[in-house]
Amino acid sequence: MRATHRHITARLATATVLVAAALVSLVPSRGGASPAGPSGANVGFDFSWDDAKNPAGHSASFLEADGVTANNCSGGPLSAATKTCNFVFDYQINGAAQFSASRAARFISFWTNPPTYVGGMPAANTGCSSPTSGAGDLGKAPLTLFDCFNANSFGQVFRANVTGPLTEFRVSMTCLAPGGGKYELYALLYEMSADGTSITGNGPIGTNLVNLSKCPTAATWKGKAFTTKDFAMINVNLGNPGLTAGKFYGVYFTGPSMPGTPPVGAVDAMQRAKAASTTTTTTTTTTPWSSFKNQGNTRKPATTTTVARGTSGTTAPSAPTTAAPVPAALFPDNVAATSAVMTAVRVMSSGAEKTYVIDSLTPRTCLGAGRNLVMMSTGRCRAQITLRRNGRVSATLGTTVTDGSPLLSDVVVQVAPPTVVQFRNGTALTTPTARARIANITSDARKADAILVTGHTGNAGGETAKMTQLSQKRAMAARSLLRGRGVSVLIAIQSYGATQAVSTSKKESQQALNRRAEIFIIP
């Protein structure tokens, strides 16, 4: 299908995206050349509209609101022969340059900025829908983040012609930084379906916090006539992931300031990439210049970047190496001001629970389980992330837990109602029914991110220290049964004693309901 400027605009209109009301405030209603977005910055991408000159099997791409389905410039499935519009980019597989897209578009000097967005794209003839005389297959460039790409993540799909590591991927960009505005941009590499129409798997196979320090910048684009000097090929170091000949792969761009839904698995991957960008390796130290620092100073900040060999013209490619382990990282900002009951928030990177522990200051409201802060009941939740070795506080968390509908994401997950197991009176001995229930959840428990077990007792005799000890033994007994069935994930326990009784009745049948442990599986 022939890809024109009008065609890609039409494709954007079909995407399920943020409602217009949520986007009205993103872009000022004044005229100008693609103003700053809500973070005070904007990024422009050079573009190729010339189908004939573009590489076969490649396509510019946008994601639908599910973060998985690709809305390609081709208008449908991709094949090895598909030729359509592309971002200007180049790449290498195992150090060998591949057929890439070069510039074929008209640079513009004035954008009609949209006062509103409809269906995730600029309304009427504004933004990237602005008419350009004689556009045809040479439509306008640059296409910019906050005047075009409000339909979730966007990027480039390409077909690997050979098998080997992706040793280089570069894209032509220009940057707007009025008043020193910053934009944190990430590139994520995904394996695509056989026809390039959707992401496969649960997350990216490569992630990069894009270093924009060499991106040509300007304080304003108003009235600016763009030239090739305003663009630079910015390297996206994705860690040399292995590619297979004949498969489609997609590099999608997103970031915390970008509207819309991020791709599947993106949030956790971005946090890992950000943590990795600040680590010290045996070769060099990377100081992230997450974009647009010191715009008024002609001197660039001193930075050194860890780059895989083969990602520049001066070094030869080397065989891919195993990436260094990402260090423990804390993400207290993942906890919003308001949270929903029976959700868990990832507040640490995967594996960080070996270094840190979450200590709840309000255990009736929220509890820690591995890297998760679990919202147990309504009220005010306060917790601390402390070092396991010495108890030193590294971060403080707080949120108000309500019965509202949860806003789920890669860092906020729904927690199912607990599996309840009963115990014999005055003991930590489970009943046959309890053991059968644990057997039934074994499969899900083995795949969990973490498990939380709470222990409880009857309240006929009131709350005593003995009750607290008994409830702890019950929680530990449930944990032991899970371990005995091959559940190896972290299992946190909490003893409540008689403080959270199901029933206050003195009847034996009702008190039996209180003698329990509750098992919460954190997905």
The whole-number pLDDT of residue 289 equals: 20
Strand (E) positions, 130-259?
Answer: 140-141, 143-144, 154-159, 164-176, 186-191, 206-209, 217-218, 232-235, 242-243, 248-254
Highest mean pLDDT (candidates 1-15, 192-206, 212-226, 493-507): 192-206
Residue 437 has pLDDT above 60, yes or no: yes
Look at residues 273, 252, 301, 295 and name the one whose alpha carbon lies nearest to residue 45: 252
Q: Check residue 517 and give its pLDDT.
A: 92
- The pLDDT value recorded for residue 288 is 25
Can you give the pLDDT at residue 443? 92
Scanning the structure block, which residue is given the tokens 């005055």? 426
Selection from 107-111, 117-121, 213-217, 490-494 with the highest mean pLDDT: 490-494
**Average pLDDT rounded to a whole number, residues 325-338:** 79
The confidence score (pLDDT) of residue 13 equals 32
- Identity of residue 26: L
- pLDDT bin (cut points 50, 70, 90) of residue 149 is low
What 8-state DSSP symbol labels residue 206? E
Pick from 113-117, 227-231, 267-271: least confident: 113-117
Q: Is the pLDDT of residue 454 over 90?
A: yes
316 vs 438, higher pLDDT: 438
The upper half-sphere exposure of residue 465, i.e. CA atoms within 13 Å in the direction of its Cβ, equals 0
Residue 367: pLDDT above 50? yes
Residue 315 has pLDDT above 70, yes or no: no
pLDDT in tens, 470-516: 999 999 999 999 998 899 999 999 999 888 888 877 788 788 888 89
Residue from 352, 347, 390 nearest 367 by CA: 347
Write a three-state SS string for 235-297.
ECCCCCCEECCCCEEEEEEECCCCCCCCCCCHHHHHHHHHHHCCCECCCCECCCCCCCCCCCC
- The residue with greater pLDDT, 372 or 286, is 372
Reduce the secondary structure of 59-107 to three states and give it as a string. EEEEECCCCCEEEECCCCCCCCCCCCCEECEEEEECCEECCCECCECEE
pTM, 2 dp: 0.52
* Burial grade of 345 (CB within 10 A; 0-12, 13-18, 19 or more): buried
- 158 has a pLDDT exceeding 80: yes
Domains of the chain: 5-276 (no CATH), 332-414 (2.60.40.1380), 419-522 (3.30.1330.60)
Residue 443's H or E segment, with its range, is helix 442-446
Average pLDDT over residues 205-219: 89
Q: Return d(Cα 456, Cα 471) in angstroms, integer.
A: 5
For residue 369, pLDDT beyond 60:
yes
Residue 279 has pLDDT above 80, yes or no: no
Averaged pLDDT, 315-342: 66
Spell out the residues 6+ positions from residue 466 whose beta carbon is closer than 8 angstroms to its own.
Answer: none
Query: Which residue, among 167, 317, 191, has the nearest Cα to 249 in the 3D structure?
Result: 191
pLDDT of 283 over the 50 cut: no
Q: Which amino acid is at 522?
A: I
> What average pLDDT score do residues 302-323 get?
34
- Strands 217-218, 164-176: pairing is parallel
Residue 201 pLDDT > 50: yes
Listed residue (8, 159, 156, 137) closest to 81, CA to CA: 159
The overall average pLDDT reported for the chain is 77
Tell me 32's DSSP state. Answer: B
Q: Is the pLDDT of residue 375 over 80?
A: yes
Q: What pLDDT digit, counting tens, does each position of 38-79 carry?
A: 667 788 888 888 888 889 999 998 888 888 999 888 888 999
Is 458 or 244 the better-scoring residue by pLDDT? Answer: 244
**pLDDT at residue number 371:** 94
Q: Which residues pair with 520 in a beta bridge?
A: 452
Using CB atoms within 10 Å of the CB of residue 505, give its burial: 0 to 12 exposed, 13 to 18 middle, 19+ buried.
middle
| pLDDT at residue 276 greater than cutoff 80 | no
Q: 294-303, 374-383, 462-471: which has the minimum mean pLDDT?
A: 294-303
